[in-house]
Structure 1
Amino acid sequence: MHPDTTAQPTAPHAALSEDQADAEARRLIATAYRDDTPLPAHGATPPVAQPGRPPMSQGATDASALTLSGAAAVSMTGLTASVLMYASQTANPAVCAIVFGAPTAFVLALARLTKRAKPAPDVHQHYSGPVYQDQRIVHTTTRGVWAKTNNHP
């Protein structure tokens, strides 16, 4: 038995006549709802803390990185000097110069840095109209000798 090739399409929009389509359109318009209340200029929702480092100006970011680097250098130098003094069981003048000189150099560098530091400017962002927030999670895979990256939403 052969299938019937003269059958009409069964899609809803293809089977409706013009009068039926107009009636369906009027029914959809009558049941639609649109909220026309005005949106507030500024919302009452408090800001939410974001993960990671807080936003800073470029100068504050540079100063923070410099301070962290200086602190790591001072800690390593002081620890090394302490181990050397303990291991040698004597107070060598060179070792004492390292132990007491490193924090002094750090304090001097920090004082010079604070002289050049400027306060971060206040940034206020106001929006008029609807705001769209795109919150996608992208899964990335990179494989092969010649890297091929596939991003999958």
Structure 2
Amino acid sequence: MPHPEHTPDPIQSDPGLTDTEADAEARRIIADAYRPLPETPTAYRDTTPLPAYGNALPVLQPDNRIVPAWAAGTAVAGIGVGATCVGLGCGIWLACQGFAAVTLASVLFVTLPIAALAAVATAIGSAVRSVKTAHTETHHHYTGPVRLENNTITAPAYGLIARNRNELTR
């Protein structure tokens, strides 16, 4: 790679470009860079004359908006979550209305399913316990000598601040 001091200048090395041509080209490039962009309309004005009486005919309004996929997905998800929350809220409201109506029918309506579930759970627990005791019942036969000793625990406590010292004597 040549040293930066020895690199040829591209404007000076082009033999076909005179000073006046280079000046005109520079002016053209600067004018293109600072040229205002064409204006895009941001509003639509209907220039058709209004009728003397009655309603005006509808005019086609140009619309070419594009909704990104993530925005459409977010909108659909929001609608789903909102519908779910409304459904749950209605269910809770109906349950609270049932709890608020204190009649024999409403009390039975609430307590009978709970009592039925409790009875089923008790029956299953009893069946499991009886199966466990039937399989784990064994008779133990002890063959070693049995020693009976006098095991006493002495726990003296003396003074204003007592300190426990449990002593096991055999």
* Fold conserved between structures, TM > 0.5: no
Higher RCO structure, 1 or 2 (CA under 8 Å, sep 6+):
1
Between Structure 1 and Structure 2, whose CA radius of gyration is higher? 2
TM-score by length of 2: 0.28
